[in-house]
Amino acid sequence: MKASSCICLYDAVTTVTVPFIPVFLCGRHTGRVQLPRHLAFGSLAGFLVAFSLPPWGWWPLALIGFALLSYAILDTTRLQRFATGWAMGFVWLAMGELWMFDLTAPGYVFVFVVFGAGYGLAAVAAGSGERQRVLLPAANVIIEWLRWAWPFGGVPLATVPMTQVESPLATVLPLGGGLLLVAVTVLSGIALRLLWQRRFDHAAMTFGPVVVAVIIGVMVPNGSVIDTLDVAVVQGGGPQRTRADVCENQAVFERHVEATNTIDREVDLIVWPENVVNPIADGTPLGRCDDLFYMTEAMDRVAEVARQQNAVLIPGWFHNDGPRHNVNYSTAVNPDGETVSRYDKVRIVPFGEFVPLRGFIENFSDDVPSRDVRAGDGPAILDSDVGRFGVSISWEIFFESRGRAAIRDGGEVLINPTNGSSYWLTILQSQQVASSQLRALETGRWVLQAAPTGFSAIVSPDGELLDRTDVSEQKVLYATIERREGLTLATRFGPWPMLVLAALALAGTSLRRRDAT
């Protein structure tokens, strides 16, 4: 291989990309690691998209990343396009989901190798000519949706919509949801490439649909106000990167009672995080623990908190349910201490709350958790004296389908009790806040996110992050929010219009190519 056929990566790019992708040496005497042109461009594009994600959040970099991808796949073979797209997805997901390495190293590798290949296929489908102005957005819409839905229910992390949640493009979300935001993000990148090439007429035609979508997104209805509520979102605080320990369950609960007791004003609603009420069956022996948090005590204490605060309390529960299962749910407790509603988590976490292919995996590992969380199947709402609340517990907030289900079931506010205390770094927690912003914009609802060690947040229906805690601190967030009704177009129709348009674009171009041949 001649040195002229390769591009040397400068130190900043090499440092990030070389550990993640196959490298080739070119030039015997340079002493520098070099990559083929398509891998280099793809890696740099992935680097840019990764840094547009939370927690970094430099959203223009995603547009530059897709502009670079669009340029790099012009006049290339299918193999070169695949390598470019794969390298982009590889680096983007390896950086954007780095936290996963601490949780499951094999799962982490699977994500950026296999899902990265999906973006390689999208680049192949886009072709090497100017039809990519239609095909590259369409192919990325399909690949993003597949990643959000497969395998085991999907892994919608480090997504394109997260990169744009703070950008003007996010105003398209009430119109067409996350997939429309994917399309306009990629289109904007292609328009940027055309501007750089000084092809101004083509750039204007490419960016035109983006402008139209943004304008319509601003104009479409996003619901109306029913009434207002004074709310308190409670974060009990405590150490980060911890694992569940039955001996610590009482301490976690007490930290949230302590924080709740600092509430210094009258409120209508108090939101606690996911699984901070984590009791065990009455009569269980102490074993190695000095004390245990029993079910009867937990029920009495929760009712007492609601009565003392004279407010509706939404606590998150987690406990055993028979010999093989756990349950993860939230309840609504009225000011008189009566529990009046319960929602069991529907979308549970693969390899975290349940083990897919358990019978097969148990043949090869003795470390498989003995219990799965029993998935719920009821409507995603909690009724109370002060309103009907849509609920997306923890992982569910990453799925637009769960937010949509909660609002279609009549949710007037969207509640996200969560628990990120087990995770390394703050990448996942930052992306969860971004997901709450996406759900707020898509549904036209306020979103209240409560986490035991951070981040807790309050998000307005226009996606503005009004308040957020820091990691590990004990704090109560206050706000006056609106109960709202009505459905946005994105909530009413979901992803199907964009999926149909993307499929038609890909199929139509394929047929035209066949006719031309």
Tokens 């002229």: give the residue. Answer: 4
> What is the DSSP-derived secondary structure letter of residue 220?
S
Structural contact between residues 256 and 316, judged by C-beta atoms closer than 8 angstroms? no
Short-list 152, 97, 100, CA closest to 422:
100
Provide mean pLDDT across the span 218-226: 96
DSSP 67-119: HHHHHHTTT--HHHHHHHHHHHHHHHHHHHTTTHHHH-HHHHHHIIIIIHHHH
Q: Give me 271's structure tokens.
A: 């939101």
Short-list 445, 385, 442, 379, CA closest to 415:
445
Residue 329 has pLDDT above 60, yes or no: yes
pLDDT digit string, tens, across residues 441-462: 999 999 999 999 999 999 999 9
Domain ranges of the chain: 3-221+496-516, 224-483
- The answer to which of 129-133, 310-314, 437-441 has the lowest mean pLDDT is 129-133
Element (H, E) at 125: helix 116-126
Angle between helices 249-260 and 295-309 (to 10 degrees): 10
Short-list 450, 440, 382, CA closest to 411:
382
Q: Give me 48's structure tokens.
A: 């840019």
3-state helix, strand, coil in the chain (%, to 5): 50, 15, 35
Write down the pLDDT at residue 514.
57
DSSP 253-287: HHHHHHHHTT--S--SEEE--TT-B--B-TT---T
Contacts of 201 by beta carbon, 8 Å cutoff, 6+ apart: none
Residue 487 has pLDDT above 70, yes or no: yes
Q: Which has the higher per-residue pLDDT, 174 or 367?
A: 174
- The answer to which of 104-113, 226-235, 249-258 has the lowest mean pLDDT is 104-113
Q: Which amino acid is at 245?
A: D
Q: Which has the higher per-residue pLDDT, 363 or 219?
A: 219
Write down the pLDDT at residue 370.
80
Write down the pLDDT at residue 35.
53
| Spatial separation of the C-alpha atoms in residues 138 and 179, rounded to whole Å | 10
Q: What are phi and psi of 435, to 5 degrees?
A: -65, -40
Structural contact between residues 441 and 461, judged by C-beta atoms closer than 8 angstroms? yes
pLDDT band at 242 (very low <50, low <70, confident <90, very high): confident
- The answer to which of 232-241, 357-366, 428-437 has the lowest mean pLDDT is 357-366
- Tell me if the pTM is above 0.85: yes
| Spatial separation of the C-alpha atoms in residues 327 and 371, rounded to whole Å | 10
DSSP 318-360: EEE-SSSEEEEEEEEE-TTS-EEEEEE-SSPPBTTTB-TTHHH
Write down the pLDDT at residue 513.
61
pLDDT digit string, tens, across residues 59-113: 999 999 999 999 999 999 999 999 999 999 999 999 999 998 887 788 888 888 9
Write down the pLDDT at residue 103.
77
| Spatial separation of the C-alpha atoms in residues 161 and 436, rounded to whole Å | 12
Q: How far is CA 457 from CA 232, 233, 429, 432, 468, in A?
A: 11, 8, 11, 10, 4
Length of the chain: 517
Element (H, E) at 466: strand 465-468
Residue 26 has pLDDT above 50, yes or no: no
In b/e form, how buried is each residue of 385-424, taking b as 16+ CB within 10 angstroms?
ebbbbbbbbbbbbbbbbbbbbbbbeebbbbbbbbbbbebe
| Spatial separation of the C-alpha atoms in residues 126 and 133, rounded to whole Å | 8
- The answer to which of 357-371, 400-414, 430-444 has the lowest mean pLDDT is 357-371
Q: Give me 150's structure tokens.
A: 């497969």
Hey, what's the torsion of the CAs at 366, 248, 98, 354, to 10 degrees?
40
CATH class assigned to 224-483 = alpha beta
Write down the pLDDT at residue 156.
95
Peptide bond into 369 cis (omega under 30): no
| Spatial separation of the C-alpha atoms in residues 260 and 237, rounded to whole Å | 12
pLDDT band at 168 (very low <50, low <70, confident <90, very high): very high
